[in-house]
Structure 1
Amino acid sequence: MKTDKITRKNPANMPAPVGQYTHITRIPRNAELFVTSGQIGADRNGHFPDSLNEQVTNTFNNIKTVLESEHLDAEHIIKVNIWATEKIDWDFLYAEWGQLFCHDYPAMTIGYITELGLSEIKIEIEIWAAKV
């Protein structure tokens, strides 16, 4: 099936995703690819809140700002990589996630690690996007 738009699907012969993501995202030929650096939980002044949830909110605000700078939105996101240094409150993260994504979720990878670039950083999220 060839199409000129980004498509997402979960193959019927696989287990359903365990979260709000899609198993496979197809990017059409000649799409323009955008890759962000990992976005972190600092606010506009460079301050890191102590709580992971506050950093999650700031991280999603930073993601929206980066996307908007290139005239992109959630429909353009094809892949999300998340790294966290402590257990994620998934109900909270998905509430923030839901403000960015409606129902067409991108592919996603999550990893728990011991430390990120600075000791204050509790979460980092990298976005891959494509514009057709």
Structure 2
Amino acid sequence: MENFKITRKNPEGMYSPVGNYTHITKIPRNSELYVTSGQIGVDRNGNMPESMNEQIRNTFSNIQSVLHSEELTSEHIIKVNIWATQKIDWDYLDEQWEQLFGSDYPAMTIGYISELGLPEIKIEIEIWAAKA
């Protein structure tokens, strides 16, 4: 059944990841692919907090809602892109990350940019998922 499961690994002879991610995520043939729009830190009432950590918390909550809407879990996530306009509090983000993934990390990219779609958005996280 291994051929029908999403697998994650770090190749031998390569440097260890510098964060909580995996170098390679393999998707089995004939899987359904899900690509989300970037999730932001707005709450369920449409309010955007000023604090980066509050935006991070809301963003992860929004990611969970999107996943649940398609009966997906963190096991289905194959790639995460994180875009931020200011320094991320990694201790706080890693807490949220661990709650979502445990220690089974997907592939990930992080970029610091000058601005996102609206001036009040400080972080945006895009998810790619697959269901085998």
CA distance in 2, matches of 1:102, 1:86: 26
Aligned match of 1:49: 49
1:8 aligns with 2:19: no
1:85 aligns with 2:107: no
Q: What SS is found at the alignment partner of 2:42? A: coil
Deviations 1:18-58 (A, max 9, x none): 00000000000000000000000000111111110000000
Q: CA deviation at 1:4?
A: 1.0
Q: What is the letter of the counterpart of residue 120 of structure 2?
A: E
1:107: which partner in 2?
A: 107
State whether structure 2 residue 13 is matched by structure 1 residue 21. no
Q: Distance in 2 between matches of 1:99 and 1:130?
A: 20
| TM-score normalised by L of structure 1 | 0.98
Q: Secondary structure at the match of 1:3?
A: helix
Per-residue Cα deviation, 1:35-92 (whole angstroms, up to 9, x for no partner): 0000000001111111100000000000000000000010000000000000001110
Paired amino acid for 1:107: A
* 1:95-132 deviation per Cα after TM superposition (whole angstroms, max 9, x unaligned): 01111111110000000000000001000000000001
Q: Kindly indicate whether residue 38 of structure 2 is the aligned counterpart of residue 38 of structure 1.
A: yes
Residues in 1 aligned to 2:30 and 2:105: alpha-carbon distance in whole angstroms: 22
SS in 1 for 2:30: coil
Query: How far does residue 13 in structure 1 lie from its aligned partner after superposition?
Result: 1.0
State TM-score, norm by structure 2: 0.98
Count of residue correspondences: 131
- Cross-structure match for 2:73: 73
Structure-1 separation of matches of 2:32 and 2:71: 12
One-letter amino acid of the structure 2 residue matched with residue 80 of structure 1? V
Unmatched segments (≥5 aa) in structure 1: none
Q: Give me the whole-angstrom Cα distance separating, in 1, the residues matched to 2:46 and 2:15.
A: 41
Identity of aligned residues (%): 73
Distance 1:12 1:51 in 2: 40
